[in-house]
Amino acid sequence: MLKVKCPFKQCNCSIISYNEKENQPINLPLSVYDDYKLLLKNKDTKATGKFLIVGNIWDFDNIGVSKTLSFFENKDDNMSKLEFVNPIDNKRYNITQIFKYLICSDCEKGPLGIICKAKLLNDENSTVIELNLLSLDSIDLC
């Protein structure tokens, strides 16, 4: 089991435990880092688009959440390409709304991820779930 930590050396806060066998990351387009101003852990990090799904905010050891930001209201045009397969249920989802950032709770730096709503594709009932997506390119794994 690995520990996910804040990438800032002066902080190094523990964010969540990560088991690579149980927690399969999802892949999002690399454009998500620029479009939503997500932090990369250092200037040498190359974005991979891998995000850890954390279904419940209370599953984190330490995480901060930003206020709802109006910045996201103008990004609807990019949402159509934010599709992923959820490894939990093996179904395809489309992110329909990104409305908050995940930040370090101790040093308040970030953003380390996003909070979003995702719609199950090809679903007559229009099932929507809320997800916390933690960027594996924004954190340290120990």
* Tokens (6 digits) for 50: 């891998």
Res 127: pLDDT: 86
* Cα(136)–Cα(65) distance, integer angstroms: 17
For the stretch 59-76, pLDDT in tens is 999 999 998 877 666 555
For the stretch 82-98, pLDDT in tens is 899 988 888 999 998 88
Looking at the chain, the whole-number percentage of residues with pLDDT higher than 70 is: 93
Q: How many CB atoms lie within 10 A of CB 64?
A: 19
Q: Which residue has the tokens 């908050």?
A: 100
Res 108: pLDDT: 93
Q: Are 41 and 137 in contact (CB under 8 A)?
A: yes
Give the pLDDT mean for 119-129.
86
Give the pTM: 0.90
Q: Which residues contact 7 (CB under 8 A, 6 or more apart)?
A: 39, 41, 42, 112, 138, 139, 140
The mean pLDDT of the chain is 88
* Tokens (6 digits) for 109: 């730096």
Q: Are 125 and 47 in contact (CB under 8 A)?
A: no
Inform me whether the pLDDT recorded for 15 exceeds 80: yes
Res 43: pLDDT: 87
- Could you tell me which residue, 12 or 71, shows the higher pLDDT? 12
Inform me whether the pLDDT recorded for 77 exceeds 90: no
Second CATH level (architecture) for the domain 2-141: Beta Complex (2.170)
